[in-house]
């Protein structure tokens, strides 16, 4: 029987290969830290720029949302991204927007995390998950006053991150679970594994359009502990670096 494959658009591999080869010529135009006091931050990446999200001290899981900076109704769509790019994202993965625009918002041009194959399917940076929220942490901890429930979950962190851009909770949507590691079991479950990311590891995103990015420092930290024991894990700041590439994106 012929194997059924999902219809795929052509990928301009030569363009992105040359873009990667030009990285030594990129000019850093901004750099900042998402602190443990903030836990979440939003920022604009202009068309043709790149953004690196960096683990500064050790592995730190980050929840990442993306919108069209000029029209937040166009945003990252995880369902069709995983159909076109697979569940796990890495170098050369495109991050697709929702209908009717349905185009790449950003493309990953570098991923420096090296996965240790603790399971044959273990990988990092997946797009089928979601951001943790007050209900999730209440179910896990059974404590309505815990900071993970009241303010330091990813839903709250992301909401604070987008408020300066005139957006609110109703604008939160699909996200990437960056630096988080998992695999699939036969029953379809996907247990979280300790992340293999190290200090200095980053994922670099190339902006196909002007993009608004929101990043949350996830309270699950390195993913080492079970949810109910997550407080044992230490949470680390994340670095953001913005680069001017001098290379205009292709028309999509």
Q: What is the pLDDT of residues 226-250, one digit of tens each?
A: 777 777 778 999 999 999 999 999 9
* pLDDT per residue rounded down to tens, the chain (252 residues): 777 777 878 899 999 999 999 999 999 999 999 999 999 999 999 999 999 999 999 999 999 999 999 999 999 999 999 989 999 999 999 999 999 999 999 999 999 999 999 999 999 999 987 899 999 999 999 999 999 999 999 999 999 999 999 999 999 999 999 999 999 888 888 888 999 999 999 999 999 999 999 999 999 999 887 777 777 778 999 999 999 999 999 987
Rg of the chain, C-alpha, whole Å? 18
How far apart are alpha carbons 189 and 161 in whole angstroms?
Answer: 30
* DSSP for residue 101: T
> Using DSSP, how many helices (H) and how many strands (E) does the chain show?
5, 13
For CA atoms 136, 84, 92, 186, the dihedral sign is: positive
pTM for the predicted model, two decimal places: 0.95
């Amino acid at each position: 029987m012929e194997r059924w494959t999902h219809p795929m658009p052509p990928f301009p591999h030569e363009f992105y290969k040359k873009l990667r080869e030009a990285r030594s010529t990129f000019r850093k135009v901004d750099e900042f830290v998402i602190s443990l006091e903030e836990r979440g931050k939003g920022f604009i990446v202009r068309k043709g720029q790149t953004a690196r999200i960096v683990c500064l001290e050790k592995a730190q899981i980050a929840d990442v949302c993306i919108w069209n900076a000029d029209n937040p109704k166009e945003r990252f769509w995880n369902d069709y991204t995983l159909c076109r790019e697979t569940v796990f994202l890495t170098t050369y993965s495109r991050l697709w927007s929702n209908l009717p625009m349905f185009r790449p918002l950003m493309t990953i041009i570098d991923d420096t995390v090296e996965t240790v194959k603790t399971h044959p399917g273990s990988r990092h940076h997946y797009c089928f998950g979601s951001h943790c929220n007050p209900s999730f942490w209440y179910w896990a901890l059974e404590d309505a006053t815990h900071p993970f429930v009241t303010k330091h979950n990813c839903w709250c962190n992301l909401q604070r991150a987008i408020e300066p851009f005139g957006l609110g909770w109703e604008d939160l949507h699909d996200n990437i679970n960056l630096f988080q590691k998992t695999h699939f079991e036969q029953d379809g479950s996907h247990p979280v594994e300790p992340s293999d990311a190290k200090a200095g590891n980053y994922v670099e995103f190339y902006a196909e359009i002007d993009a608004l990015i929101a990043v949350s420092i996830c309270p699950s930290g390195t993913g080492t502990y079970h949810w109910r024991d997550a407080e044992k894990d230490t949470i680390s700041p994340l670095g953001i670096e913005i680069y001017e590439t001098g290379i205009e994106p292709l028309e999509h």
